[in-house]
A = this chain, B = another copy of it.
Amino acid sequence: MHFALIGCGRIGRVHAESIALHPRAELTRVCDAVEASAREVADRFGGVPGSDVDAVLADPAIDAVVIASPTPTHVDLLARAVEAGKAVLCEKPIDLDLARVDDCRARIGAAESRVMVGFNRRFDPSFRAVRERVATGEIGRLEQLIIVSRDPAPSPAEYLAGSGGLFRDMTIHDFDMARFFLGDVVEVSAMGSNLVADYIAELGDIDGAVVTLRGADGTLCHITNSRRCTFGYDQRLEAFGSLGMLSVDNLRPDGVRAFTAQSTESAAPYLDFFLDRYTPAYRAELDHFVQSILDDSAPEPGFEDGRAALVLADAAEESLRTGRAVAVDAAAATTAGGRR
């Protein structure tokens, strides 16, 4: 299976490596507006480098396109790649503006089923194991989901200025995780805070938040976010049900524990960087994408999942602004239906 990669930044390189390591995939074309970046990636992971997107999409040898370019370019590239008959794995978010996402959806129509959105955390072995064990009924009916998601340190102002705000940039992963467990969400309530960095407040953004969601079936979900966490990348989840609970601990670089006169069982700080923490998830994500092409099945999370997470981010923004819980119309938010 021949892959083209569009966008050779940090996340693009992760995908390039996943493609290179996959036994069924080959990196055939590598594209970036800065051709030197494309060349660098091609040297390491294979493929013909270039900066011309048209040439990539016109190449009949290409089966699948991974879009890892800047967010504002996503919807157009996604639509064109689909129109060119390619399977598409598009990095999240599809776009920051729901109207543009809806335009894109109208444009691609039924071909939506060939699009996968890069919510990599669904493929984290621990989160996925919990999801699957919940589905088997191990903890009975799921009643409460608690998600803690904290970044080690805030991104710089330049990045945040174009990020769409905490909910669309960071919480969007947690909204998707909530939907992964709860299916449709019908109500969103949010509080935000500015405790981490002044420049974030100056951008009109928040740097911490607590968000409460209600699923269509009454399950409640709590999300806690922070842009700063001194002890590493804090990524935890608790699924609480009528028969028990499943939780996910953070991962550490090694299994060493220290015991001294001051403290016992001290472990190392958590893995700090999202690429380290989620490397296996990115690999598994690509594998699912490859498998969906081989099976001619719709990949999950799909376009509608990308759209639905954005709907929840918009609802959280509205709740933050109005101090009200915001009702979400599941039908309008997603035509894919719940996943439970």
Write the residues of chain A forming the contact surface with B, with a CB cutoff of 8 angstroms.
125-126, 129-130, 133, 138-139, 141, 143-144, 146, 148, 150, 187, 189, 191, 193-196, 208-210, 212, 214, 218-222, 224, 226, 228-232, 240, 242-270, 323-325
Contacts and interface: CB of A to CB of B under 8 A. Distances in A.
Nearest to A265: B267
Contacts of A254: 125-126, 129, 248
A218 B226 CA distance: 14
Contact of A264 (B126, B226, B264, B269): B269
Contacts of A189: 189, 191, 212, 323, 325
Contact of A210 (B129, B212, B228, B255): B212
B212 A191 contact: yes
A252 B249 CA distance: 11
Nearest to A263: B266
Contact of A231 (B195, B218, B256, B264): B264
A264 B267 CA distance: 5
A130 B256 contact: yes
A226 B144 CA distance: 9
A116 B130 CA distance: 43
A231 B260 contact: yes
Nearest to A143: B195
B242 A126 contact: no
Given A244-B258, A261-B231, A261-B244, A210 B220 contact: yes
Given A191-B220, A210-B220, A248 B244 contact: no
Copies assembled: 4
Contacts of A196: 143, 242
Contacts of A253: 125
A226 B252 contact: no
A213 to B, nearest CB: 8
B226 A224 contact: no
Contacts of A218: 193-195
A252 to B, nearest CB: 7
13 contacts: A133-B256, A193-B219, A222-B222, A229-B240, A230-B260, A245-B258, A245-B260, A246-B257, A248-B257, A249-B255, A249-B256, A264-B270, A266-B266
Given A129-B256, A144-B226, A231-B245, 12 more contacts: A144-B210, A146-B146, A189-B191, A228-B242, A245-B258, A245-B259, A246-B258, A247-B256, A248-B257, A249-B256, A250-B264, A265-B265
A148 B268 CA distance: 22
Contacts of A257: 246-249
Contacts of A256: 126, 129-130, 133, 246-249
